[in-house]
Amino acid sequence: MPSLLPKTPQFFQLHHIEDQALATEAAAGLLAASAWASPKFFYDALGSRLFDAITELAEYYPTRTEAGIFTAHGAEIGAAALKLTGTAPALVDLGAGNCAKAARLFGWLQPRRYVAVDISVDFLRHSLHGLQREHPQVDMVGVGLDFSTQLRLPPDVLAGQPALVFYPGSSIGNFAPDDALRLLRQAREAAAGGALLIGVDLLKPPALLQAAYDDDLGVTAAFNLNLLKHLNRLLGANFDLRQWQHVAVFNAAQSRVEMHLQARLATTVRWPGAERSFAAGERVHTENSYKWTTEGFAALLRDAGFGSLQHWTDPQRWFGVFLAAG
Ligand SMILES: C[S@@+](CC[C@H](N)C(=O)[O-])C[C@H]1O[C@@H](n2cnc3c(N)ncnc32)[C@H](O)[C@@H]1O
Q: Where are the domains of the chain?
A: 54-204+292-325
Residues 187-208: what's their mean pLDDT? 97
Ligand 1 centroid to Cα of residue 96, in Å, is 6
Ligand 1: residue whose CA is nearest its atom 15: 40
**How far apart, in whole angstroms, are the C-alpha atoms of residue 198 and residue 230?**
28
**How far apart, in whole angstroms, are the C-alpha atoms of residue 312 and residue 323?**
9
Cβ of 186 closer than 6 Å to ligand 1, yes or no, is: no
pLDDT band at 15 (very low <50, low <70, confident <90, very high): low
Evaluated on CA atoms 217, 127, 175, 35, the torsion sign reads: positive
C-alpha distances out from residue 294 to 165, 275, 283, Å: 20, 44, 32
Going edge to edge, which strands form the sheet with 283-290?
244-251, 256-263, 283-290
91 in helix, strand or coil?
strand
Write out pLDDT tens, residues 79-126. 999 999 999 999 999 999 999 999 999 999 999 999 999 999 999 999
Ligand 1: residue whose CA is nearest its atom 12: 95
Ligand 1 centroid to Cα of residue 258, in Å, is 17
**How far apart, in whole angstroms, are the C-alpha atoms of residue 188 and residue 163?**
10
- Residues 194, 162 contacting (CB under 8 angstroms): yes
CATH topology of domain 54-204+292-325: Rossmann fold (3.40.50)
Write out pLDDT tens, residues 148-195. 989 999 988 998 899 999 999 999 999 999 999 999 999 999 999 999
Contacts of 299 (CB under 8 A, 6+ apart): none
80 in helix, strand or coil?
helix
253 in helix, strand or coil?
coil
pLDDT band at 20 (very low <50, low <70, confident <90, very high): confident
Range of weakest confidence among 40-49, 152-161, 238-247? 152-161
Ligand 1 centroid to Cα of residue 171, in Å, is 7
Cβ of 43 closer than 6 Å to ligand 1, yes or no, is: yes
Residue 5 has pLDDT above 80, yes or no: no
Atom of ligand 1 nearest to the CA of 149: 19
Mutating to test ligand 1, I would choose from 43, 99, 121 the residue with most ligand atoms within 8 A of its C-beta, which is 43
**How far apart, in whole angstroms, are the C-alpha atoms of residue 200 and residue 284?**
26
Predicted local distance difference test score (pLDDT) of residue 81: 98
